[in-house]
Amino acid sequence: MSGVVFRVAPGGSLSGTLRVPGDKSISHRSIMLGAIADGVTRVEGFLEGEDALATLQAFRSMGVEIEGPQAGRVVIHGVGRDGLRPPQGELYLGNSGTSMRLLAGLLAGQPFDSLLTGDESLSRRPMKRVTEPLARMGARIDAAEGGTAPLRIHGGSRLTGIDYPMPVASAQVKSCLLLAGLYAEGRTCVTEPAPTRDHTERMLEAFGYPLHRDGASVCVEGGGRLTATDIHVPADISSAAFFLVGASIAPGSELLLEHVGINPTRDGVIHILRQMGAHIELLAPRQVGGEPVADLRVRHAPLHGIEIDPALVPLAIDEFPALFVAAACAEGRTVLRGAEELRVKESDRIAVMADGLRRLGITAEPTADGIVIEGGALRGGRVESHGDHRIAMSFAMAALRADGEVVIDDCANVNTSFPGFAGLAAGAGLAIQVSDDG
């Protein structure tokens, strides 16, 4: 399958001032919480990518009036905690794991039935991690064989709060259970084995919903109400990551990335790159709507391989494809362990990155829970993104250091998280051309 193809001429550098699109995780949550709040929620900086739009469309299908998005502005006319209406047909969530897992929690306690479906990739991803704890709360959900989507959620179940120690460090599982907890009787507590992104917790508080945090646990009491608020979505650090890596590896580069979210549960990419020798400065750190934000200045710097601290894995979980490109351009060996979750993302990111890096002449050995990459000279070649947006954008940046053209197949899904990527990257100096080979 080729579909949308990126062709990136080798070499060059990145420079200028950029603002990458809004944070995907925060954009999803703004729609979900705005929809079930009392009053009108105004969102700015909303990510107009396919994943967040799938969430938006799902709530429209459940009777929520939503204006926009227009230039990142969305106005959500909240229907209140019990105001959602039965959707007409299935809720198709495309490629979006966040939509499916969080909605499963939110819909488990509704009085109506719903059917959650997704594309081929989403229909392969593990859903038992949410359906099992939801079933313990009293939800009735039928999945396909193997526990995957489509998920048929039977309405009218009475949910009861549970105390759930999560077996995987997953913000999606945590958020799913907290959203179900809003509709459950009593208290729902989730304990994480390692810190994961806390946007749901921050946003629930911004909507006036009390949370109880105690160490690695977070709890909600069911039955409360959310009050509409204004939300400012910062630029997505996961999208900025491609530019942090690109500017770090390409001699002569200097970029200013504006208004990037630097929530400490998301900033692992900055720590890992700095440990590799990257030159990244945080300018004008500030708080915007309950989330920390800064402008990031990044300059080219020679990188060296490191052993990545497994504690940083959940804090950089979406940035590893880009970090693997940094490792390929670094001097020496980079070792990643404790990252088996990468195998169940939009693609098996360990296998797919190892395969692509090898095609570009790099020694990359996948392991069960990580990868070992020997830095070296990148050559040109043709790689397959397997429909995974972050793989496609990572290999586009690799061309900055390749000695020949890098061609990347199957790039349409870049629109799930980063509409306009090619244009923004070209403006900064990446010699990228996009074609649609049907």
| Interacting residues toward ligand S3P by CB under 6 A | 25, 98, 170-172, 175, 196-197, 317-318, 341
Quick one: 83 or 195, whose CB is closer to ligand S3P? 195
Token readout for 102 is: 């969080």
User: To the nearest whole angstrom, how small is the minimum distance from the Cβ of residue 175 to ligand S3P?
Assistant: 6
User: To the nearest whole angstrom, how small is the minimum distance from the Cβ of residue 184 to ligand S3P?
Assistant: 20
Question: How buried is 436 (Cβ within 10 angstroms: 0-12 exposed, 13-18 middle, 19+ buried)?
Answer: exposed
Identified catalytic residue from 119, 295, 318, 410? 318
**Any idea what the Cα angle at residue 109 is, between residues 108 and 110, rounded to 5°?**
100
Count Cα atoms within 13 angstroms, Cβ side, for 234: 25
Q: Residue 330: name the closest of 363, 297, 370 by CA.
A: 363
Find where tokens 């500030």 sit.
Answer: 286
Measure the CA–CA gap between 173 and 190, rounded to whole angstroms.
9
Measure the CA–CA gap between 335 and 329, rounded to whole angstroms.
14
User: To the nearest whole angstrom, how small is the minimum distance from the Cβ of residue 343 to ligand S3P?
Assistant: 12
Whether residue 436 lies in the annotated active site: no
155 three-state secondary structure: coil
Quick one: 170 or 334, whose CB is closer to ligand S3P? 170
Say which residues have a Cβ less than 8 Å from residue 29's Cβ, sequence separation at least 6.
102, 175, 199, 200, 203
Give the E-state strand segments of 222-361 in sequence order: 226-227, 230-232, 254-261, 279-288, 291-299, 333-336
Quick one: 105 or 161, whose CB is closer to ligand S3P? 105
Quick one: 291 or 295, whose CB is closer to ligand S3P? 291
Quick one: 61 or 175, whose CB is closer to ligand S3P? 175
User: To the nearest whole angstrom, how small is the minimum distance from the Cβ of residue 178 to ligand S3P?
Assistant: 11
User: To the nearest whole angstrom, how small is the minimum distance from the Cβ of residue 427 to ligand S3P?
Assistant: 26
Report the catalytic residues. 318
